[in-house]
Amino acid sequence: MKPPSSRRLRALPALLGLGVVASSMLGIVPVAGPASAAGEPVQLVLAPANGGVVQPGADVTVTAAVTNTGSATIDASTLQVALDREVISTRSELTEWLTPPTTESTVDSDAIITAVPVPALQPGEQHIVQAVIPAADVTLDEWGVRGITGTVERSDGTESVSHSSLVFNGQDAPERAQVAVAIPITTQPGQTGLIPEATLATITADNGILTRELDSVIGRPVGILIDPRIIASIRALGSAAPSTATAWLDRLKGASNPIYPLSYGDADVAAMSQGGAPQILAPTSFDYALDPANFTGAAAPTATPTPVNGTTAVDPGVDATNSPTPSPSPAPDAVPDTSALLAWNYTGTSIAWPRDNTVAPTDLPYFAGNGLTTSILSSSNVAVASGEPSAGVVRSGDSTVLVSDDMVSQALRNAAGALTATDRQRSLSDLASSLAVVASEDGGTPQTVLATLDRAAPADGTALADALTSLDSLSWSSTTSFDGFAAQTPATEATVVDQPEPAERTSAVTALLASENQVAAFSSIITDPTKLLGENRANILSLLANSWASNSGGWNVAVQDQTERSAQTLSSVSIVAGSPIILVSNSGDMTVLVQNNLPYPVTVTVRLSPSNFRLVVQPEVTITVEAASSKRAKVPITAGVANGDTIVRAELVSPTGVLVSQQPTFIPVNVSADWEVAGSWLVGSVVGALLIFAAIRLYVKRRRNRAAPAEGDNTEIIEEPRG
């Protein structure tokens, strides 16, 4: 078969007389259809019946959804469906064929063609029509993939074109291709390190997203790569966890599937590497979220240690439950630690799974240095020496790479995420065709490929289950165990194609890491900073979730919120500016008011330095300020060489010398110590004058007292005459 782009001829109207039968219109469904990729007012989706598999001697039935995506009414038109006879035998041919066409309709000159009328379409209206090619006209023998072209030709001569494919299950079918499947179980992106209780109740309900996912994969050989945040969030609630959440966790624990951990929060390990993180981030503590009352009477968790990214985790065999005693009290060690919350009996713990096409060559050694010696990479992110699409298990340097087949994975994802019956049938036919091409490669030698879902969880768990079931229902494919696939010894050397993360993403990650370092340094003022640092780390990990990548606008807002929270933390302990101080004595105490807005006690050192020599200040005073309170620090000060104004620079530092103050506080001080000296001299002078006055007065008084007898001696005495 020649490439589709070079094998087309304009279909002649005479071909409509081939005796092909078309069915009538099946139904009218008013919907708001998505815009056409080519900007045309008609969107066309072709969906071969039976999952795109046509058996010999059977009719070929194709359902078409025709949607008016424009703003004007479209008159009645004709849908022409053409089935090519030539086999599509290579990945490149199939990929090219399924790429949305942008040119006018062209089909093979010997194609089998049918036509069906399409009634007028109001804006936003959709019609479902069905075209049938009778078995007698399907003159095909050779097994293989065939292309289907759908063309809606309107009365004004304009056309809308769509391609699909099907597999004619005729003679000489190849042996089954083996398909290993890896599925991430994650949640919608969030900003908190633990999933809120209400959210857990919703996503683990009967129709919750986690329930639907688990229903679709449990009991299959599908590899589950789970976000440990889900496990930790349920366990951290203890007896307060929703019953649906604990039941979901029990179902997961009993699943026969191989289970592996993603990074916590499904954090973007490639972005960590390229953003400059010294190592892959992991949670440090969940103490900030644990309520001891939810673990009363619980047995201390016990488990077999399981290494996770170079650390040891402990798997509690039984989740915390309520004590049956009437008045329970917390048992020793009943509140689980971080290891117990994260522990799980994983099949393996050495797999890194970055998003498709985000990995640079330096990332694999970084992953390996963190204990993740095996990576799942998309096939377009890996190249083998032969230049052929890499598949299976390969080696790059000292790392093992599990190569996810892009073509098969995309078809599986489309099928799992299909929202309508037409989209589901179309996606299943693409999946069948993709696997048929894989099975027929290399002369029909059986291959084993890896198919993966992306981080966007399927909206309909039934669609995912149907897609997985189809892998085994096809005669040319079957599923194989993921753990067996991952355990293979790589036989081919490959290189990583340099496809780094967008610069705006890595720069934001770098900023988040820098803010965490600032908070870590700041936390040295807290006696036990475990809670503060644990919550901050967990929140950052949730922001690094791969699921945020599809919502860059929302992610930018979330990152900004985290930046503001970090800034608020860094400014939560400060000096409160007061009134200017007047020093009228040689020495005294200057008070500095320290405000602590944190929910933890802090110990800080007030560091002071005057702007000149008019004042001598004790350079440091250390105080402890209780949570959410303030305290005054008394700092001894002494007048210096002269009177006048001076400015005291005040800052807060941690006991380890880390600067805590965002900005220094400047305290004005007026030194007027000579007033005390002058006052002393004045008082002394007054007292001295009074003493002198008193002495003079006493002297004068004493002289007077001495002078009185002397005057008496000088008085003349007259004697009376004697008779």
Q: Please name which of 41, 79, 75 lies closest in space to residue 63, comparing C-alpha atoms.
A: 79
Q: What is the pLDDT of residues 603-631, one digit of tens each?
A: 999 998 888 887 888 899 999 999 999 99
Cβ atoms of residues 407 and 436 within 8 Å? no
Of 206-220, 369-383, 591-605, 688-702, least confident by mean pLDDT is 688-702
Tell me the pLDDT tens digit for each residue of 63-96. Answer: 999 999 888 898 888 999 999 999 999 988 999 9
SS3 649: strand
Predicted confidence at residue 712, as pLDDT, reads: 53
Give the pair of three-digit tokens for residue 500: 């780094």
Mean pLDDT value across residues 549-553: 91
Q: Is the pLDDT of residue 22 over 70?
A: no
Angle, alpha carbons 592-598-599 (nearest 5°): 125
Neighbours of 634 (CB within 10 A): 14
Asked whether the predicted pLDDT for residue 423 surpasses 60, the reply is yes
Task: Count Cα atoms within 13 angstroms, Cβ side, for 304.
Answer: 2
Give Cα separations from 533 to 32, 232, 515 (angstroms): 48, 17, 12
How much is the pLDDT for 117? Answer: 93
Please check whether residue 429 is in contact with residue 150, taking contact to mean a CB–CB distance below 8 angstroms.
Answer: no
Local structure of 540: helix, strand or coil: helix
Geometric angle at alpha carbon 226, from 220 and 228, rounded to 5°: 150
Residue 669: pLDDT band by 50, 70, 90 thresholds? Answer: confident
Of 307, 311, 256, which is closest to residue 281 (Cα–Cα)? 311
CA distance 378 to 376: 7
pLDDT computed for residue 332 by the predictor: 52
- Model confidence at 160: pLDDT above 80: yes
Helices 552-570 and 530-543 meet at what angle, rounded to 10?
Answer: 160
Residue for token pair 């026969």: 256
Give yes or no for residue 1 having a pLDDT over 90.
Answer: no
> If you count them, how many residues does the chain have?
723
pTM: 0.82
C-alpha to C-alpha distance for 548 and 540, rounded to whole angstroms: 12
- pLDDT tens, residue by residue, 34-50: 333 445 688 899 999 99
Q: What is the per-residue pLDDT for 112?
A: 87
Region 697-703 average pLDDT: 77
The answer to whether residue 315 scores a pLDDT higher than 50 is no
HSE at residue 377, side-chain half, CA atoms within 13 A, is: 34
* Residue 149 in this model has a pLDDT that exceeds 70: yes
- The kind and range of the H/E element at 693 are helix 674-713
Proportion of the chain above pLDDT 90, given as a percent: 62
> For 63, phi and psi rounded to 5 degrees?
-95, 140
Which amino acid would we find at residue 617? V
| Residue 523 in this model has a pLDDT that exceeds 80 | yes
- pLDDT digit string, tens, across residues 462-478: 889 999 999 999 999 99
Mean pLDDT of the chain: 84
Q: Which of 140, 144, 236 is nearest to 194 (CA)?
A: 236
Q: Which distant-in-sequence residues (6+ apart) come within 8 Å of 613 by Cβ?
A: 640, 641, 642
- SS3 state of residue 681: helix
Q: Is the pLDDT of residue 316 over 90?
A: no
pLDDT at 588 over 50: yes
Whether the pLDDT of residue 164 is over 80: the answer is: yes
Burial, 597: exposed, middle or buried (Cβ in 10 Å; 0-12, 13-18, 19+)?
A: middle
Amino acid 681: pLDDT = 52
pLDDT given for residue 94 in this prediction? 94
- One-letter identity of residue 276: G
- Under the banding of pLDDT at 50, 70 and 90, the label for residue 27 is very low
Collapsed DSSP state (helix, strand, coil) of residue 292 = helix
- Give the model's pLDDT for residue 26: 36
- Residue pair 622/564 in contact by the 8 Å Cβ criterion: no
- Inter-residue contact 286 to 236 (CB < 8 Å): yes
Q: What integer pLDDT is reported at residue 172 of this predicted model?
A: 84
Written as one string, the DSSP assignment of 253-297 is: HT--S-EEE-SGGGB-HHHHHHHT-SS-------GGG--GGGGBT
pLDDT-derived band at 435, boundaries 50, 70, 90: very high
503-522 vs 530-543: helix crossing angle, rounded to 10? 170
Domains and CATH numbers, the chain: 4-173 (2.60.40.10), 178-496 (3.20.110), 581-672 (2.60.40.10)
Q: What is the pLDDT of residue 302?
A: 47
Rg of the chain's alpha carbons, rounded to an integer? 42
String of DSSP letters for 479-492: EE-HHHHHTSPP-E
Reported as a single tens digit per residue, the pLDDT across 252-302 is 999 999 999 999 999 999 999 999 999 999 999 999 999 999 998 655 444
Asked if 307 contacts 371 with a C-beta cutoff of 8 angstroms, the reply is: yes
Please tell me whether residue 209 adopts helix, strand or coil conformation: helix
